[in-house]
Each structure stands twice: as C-alpha cells, then as structure tokens.
Amino acid sequence: MSNIEKEVAQRRTFAIISHPDAGKTTITERLLLMGKAIEVAGTVKSRKSDRHATSDWMEMEKQRGISITTSVMQFPYRDHMINLLDTPGHEDFSEDTYRTLTAVDSALMVLDGGKGVEPRTIALMDVCRLRDTPIVSFINKMDRDIRDPIELLDEIEEVLNIKAAPITWPIGCYRDFKGVYHLKEDYILVYASGHGHERTETRIIQNLDSDEAREHIGDEYERFVDQLELVQGACHEFDQDEFLAGKLTPVFFGTALGNFGVDHVLDSIVDWAPSPLPRTANERVVEPTEESFSGFVFKIQANMDPRHRDRIAFMRVCSGKYEKNMKMRHARIGKDIRIADALTFFSSEREQLEEAYAGDIIGLHNHGTIQIGDTFTDGENISFTGIPHFAPELFRRVRLKDPLKSKQLRQGLRELAEEGATQVFFPERNNDIILGAVGVLQFDVVASRLKEEYRVECAYEPINVWSARWIESSDKKKLEEFSNKAVENLAVDGGGHLTYLAPTRVNLSLTEERWPEISFNATREHH
C-alpha cells in the first residue's frame, strides 16, 4: 500500500443532519471528547450562547469568528482520522449547510426521540439523497420520555424513505432507562446517569439470556425479550451494501447529554462508513488515491476577523497530498498560485501536520478570486461537479435607500451571491431586485455587508415568491414559447441563468405539469 492509500483508508469525513435542538451540538462535543480533541465538555457549547444573540453586526462577526474553529473538526479515533464538518442549523442555517453535505462521504442523522423526524431533517435528507450518501442514525434523549421506538423506526422508513435497521435497542426510557441491548453482539450496555461530562468506564452485561441481564432489567425482562423478538422479526437487518448505497440506515439509541451510546455511532462510522470516495469531474472520475493533487471549494466564509476583511474558501481535498507551500492550479481561471498559508483544522493542541489528503478540508485565504465550486489541481484542467446552488426558500424585495447607488447595489449583490450563501434575481418584467436565501439571518448579513463593503444602504420588503426553479430545455422552441407566456414570473439570477419564481407551491406544480418539455431544477451546477 502506498502512503497515500494508507492515509485515505484511514479517513472518514461526515456531517451531522438534524433539526435544531435535537442534540447536534451536544453530540459533537461528545465525539470530540472521544477523539480527545477537547478535554472538557462545554467547549463547543459556549458558542451557543452567542448564537442566540441579536443579529447586530458585531455580534455576527463574533459569532462567525468563533465558528471558523468549529466549521471543520479533525480528530483521531481508533487509528483513523475523522473529519466532522459542521452544518449550521439555527439562525445561521443557510445554503452552506446544504452544500457542506455535498463535501462529505457519510452523514449522522440525530433525531430527538421525543419528536422523531422533523422538517429540517427531511430537507437535509433530501440533499443527502442527491449523492446517495450513507446515513447512520442516532435516536437521542433516551433519558427523557420518548416515543415508542418501533413507531420511530416506522417514521424514519415512511417519511424519509430509507430502510431502518436497529443495531441497538433501548431498555426503557426516562427514569426507567436501563441501557441499550446490542442486537448483533448480544450484550447490554448499562446506563448510569450523571456521567455526562467525563469519559466513563462503562458496564457491559454479556448475553441477554443471563442471570445478570435478568437481574438488571428486572420485572420488565419478559416483556423486553418479547418486544425484541417482534423487532427482530419486523425490522430490516443491517446490510453493508444497502447502507453504502444510501438505502438503509443503521439505528442506534442513546443520550448525547449522558454521553451514552455515542461511541456506538463513531465506531459504526469507522467500521462501516466509506473512506473518501472518488469524485466526478466534467472530464473524468478522480480517485482519492491518485498521486496528483485535486480539490474543490464548497463554502466561502467572510469577515472572520473584523480587522482583516478576509474570506476563507473551504476546500475538500479529493486526491493526492496537500503540502505547505505547494503550487496549485486554479482551474477555472487557469492560473497557478502558491499556497503558503492554508488553514488546517486539527482540533487538539497537538503539533499540526501541515499536510492533507483526500477527505480532509483545508482553508484558503481568498481575496475575491475564488468562487463556490472552483476546482484546484496540481496542473490538470478539470472541474468537479456536484457542488450545486440550491433553490432559496425565502425571498425579499431589496429597496435601495439612495437611488443613485443602484449600480453598486447590483454589483454588491452579485458578488455576495458568488460566495454562495444568498442569491439575487432580476425579474424580466420590472426593475425589482429580489434576494433569495435558505436561512433568514442571511438577509441581515447581506444588508450589513452591503453597508460595510459597498457603502450601500438597503431595506427589505416582503414579496410573494414561494420558491425558485432554474429553467432548462433541449427544446428551444418550447423554451421560447414558455419565456413569452411566463414572463410575469421569470427572472435571471446573478450568473445570468433563467429562473422561474413561483408564487405558490400549487402554481409551481401546475406550471410543471403544463410544460413537460421544460425542466424546473431545484439545484443548479456552478459555471
């Protein structure tokens, strides 16, 4: 095995998908603790108090300044190197959250056991499905009163359209939570409350059919054994191939707060989830173990340090090896640049290895030349695909306070849209400017940055747009016919692409039905 092959085989790159408050921050902390990347729980948490602050500009700076350190977390676990990519979920939810999911090889779905599948979980699963990303599931908050576990599995299968294979099964919940039973390995992991903040020694009872197990489960023993029989009869068994194809998810139960069952999850990612996968470029498929370097940019984060108006481009390495001071070809503009000071994201204080392999993320300082979706190589001119724009879900009309600054406004909105967190639309029938975003905070971010960086003040007004779809058709005549008929709802986006702005969900489905020759795309590839 070559060195590159060895490094790639050790890597796992994943993200967490969950609805706000399901426990993403808490589980992230536990995972970092397991990788010994932090010593005490609470480190990740501290950012949360800032996160609920007002959208005042300084607060936003601070918030994003802190989040740079947690946007990518790299830590070692069991001879593997884990990259955990943050998926902003509260007010900072944005298109970046979706796009981050295109840069991982697997995902961990965290559900609140009391609530089950929630709306944000569904939206994020839809994004994972674009690449058939393998999903591991964790049902959290077993120390609370949760819903019937069988019902939860049914809900995963029905609502998310993926088979659910329980690997562990909970013994009781809330005050009667006694642990989880490992269905494949026939042991009970005993729950002890109150040890959330330390790595604790855990007690294991081998064999469900043992006196120790009977004693531990007590009066409920017979009922639990009956239920297990039912579960084993009715549920899917774990199947590695189906998991890798994104068609089946292994399910674990536990409590992130109690630091219980989280190790099962990390073990399953190491044992079952794929190491960095090949990536498709327009020209060819790139294998992660190739000697030559390549990577793509999936996120650009601005103004992390208010003193330097710098932007960081987050790049996923796809092949080869990054080394300090290496030369990279910026494939879109065909220029070679020397990268002296890329950021790496190793979470502990240990000596930083200034190298990165496929699956790793590095941060490049960007002075405006790097866009979302850009490919970097060590000389080859290729461009990776599968890093799309996502249709915005929220829309506002932008009103300029000083009408003489219309040019600056348009330029500012276009440039900010290139960073990928918002999109701008120019309707065909009037001179409105419409801003679209996936998360509501982005509107404030844009207003603040327009003021700071472009000296333009703007305000927002509500507008009757439900969603946007990028229009395409191989039938030029039909496209022209449609363009004439639907002119009321057509706009071009910041990159000049024709877009249909649907006022309602019903309008969109009727229009799609009426124009079968036209595709209405919810995502658009870059360039």
With contacts defined by CB under 6 A, how many residues of the chain interact with ligand GDP? 18
Q: Which of 427, 410, 429 is nearest to 418 (CA)?
A: 410
Closest CA to 27 of 166, 182, 139: 139
Q: Identify the residue among 71, 87, 94, 140 touching ligand GDP (CB under 6 A).
A: 140
DSSP string, 402-466: SGGGHHHHHHHHHHHHHHTSEEEEEESSSS--EEEESSTHHHHHHHHHHHHHH---EEEEE----
Are 108 and 250 in contact by the 8 Å Cβ rule? The answer is: no
Residue 52 interacts with ligand GDP (CB under 6 A): yes or no: no
Write out the binding residues for ligand GDP, residues 74-133 only, by CB under 6 A: 89
- Answer yes or no whether residue 20 interacts with ligand GDP by CB under 6 A: yes
Cβ-based nearer residue to ligand GDP, 48 or 284: 48
- Restricted to residues 402-461, the positions that interact with ligand GDP (CB under 6 A) are none
Of 92-100, 255-263, 279-287, 479-487: span binding ligand GDP (CB under 6 A)? 255-263
We find the least distance from the C-beta atom of residue 28 to ligand GDP, in angstroms, to be: 7
Binder of ligand GDP out of 8, 15, 17, 22 (CB under 6 A): 22
Which residues from 141-160 bind ligand GDP, rule CB under 6 A?
A: 141, 143-144
Binding span for ligand GDP by CB under 6 A among 197-205, 251-259, 262-270, 298-306: 251-259
Cβ 320 vs Cβ 378: under 8 Å = yes
DSSP 500: E
CB of 498 to ligand GDP, least distance (A): 38
Give the interface segment with ligand GDP, choosing from 22-30, 94-102, 218-226, 371-379 (CB under 6 A).
22-30
Distance CA 497, CA 208 (A): 61
Q: Per CB under 6 A, does 44 bind ligand GDP?
A: no
Stretch that binds ligand GDP, among 78-86, 139-147, 288-296, 424-432 (CB under 6 A): 139-147
Q: Given candidates 7, 11, 23, 177, which one binds ligand GDP under the rule CB under 6 A?
A: 23
Q: Which of 280, 527, 499, 246 is nearest to 388 (CA)?
A: 527
What single letter denotes the amino acid at residue 95? E
Give me the least distance between CB of 90 and ligand GDP, in Å please.
6
Residue 394's Cβ-count burial label (10 Å; 0-12, 13-18, 19+) is middle
Among 13, 63, 255, 442, which residue sits at the site for ligand GDP (rule: CB under 6 A)? 255
Name which of 71 and 140 has its Cβ closer to ligand GDP. 140
The secondary element (H helix, E strand) that includes residue 355 is strand 355-357
Binder of ligand GDP out of 256, 315, 490, 501 (CB under 6 A): 256
CB of 24 to ligand GDP, least distance (A): 3
Minimum distance of ligand GDP from residue 124's CB (angstroms): 12
Cα–Cα distance for residue pair 326/341, rounded to 1 Å: 10
Whether 500 contacts 468, CB under 8 Å: yes
11, 24, 405, 449: which one binds ligand GDP (CB under 6 A)? 24
Distance (Å, whole) CA 36 – CA 76: 8
CA–CA distance, 511 with 520 (Å, rounded to integer):
9
Residue 94 makes CB contacts below 8 A (sequence gap 6+) with 88, 421, 422, 437, 438, 439, 441, 442
Q: Which is nearer to ligand GDP, 21 or 287 (CB)?
A: 21
- Where is the binding site for GTP, in residues? 18-25, 86-90, 140-143
Please, which residue, 139 or 208, has the CB nearer to ligand GDP? 139
- Considering only CA atoms, give the Rg of the chain: 24
- 7 sits in which H/E element: helix 3-10
Least distance to ligand GDP, CB of residue 388, Å: 25
**Among 64-72, 137-145, 316-324, 349-357, which window interacts with ligand GDP (CB under 6 A)?**
137-145
- The number of C-alpha atoms within 13 Å of 493 and in the hemisphere containing its C-beta is 27
Q: Which is nearer to ligand GDP, 197 or 414 (CB)?
A: 197
Q: How far is residue 71's CA from residue 276's CA, in Å, rounded to a whole number?
A: 19
Among 26, 70, 102, 319, the residue binding ligand GDP under the rule CB under 6 A is 26
Distance between CA atoms of 465 and 99, rounded to whole angstroms?
23
- Detail the residues annotated as belonging to a binding site: 18-25, 86-90, 140-143
Q: Would you count residue 25 as binding ligand GDP (CB under 6 A)?
A: yes
| Interface ranges with ligand GDP (CB under 6 A) | 18, 20-26, 48, 89, 140-141, 143-144, 255-258
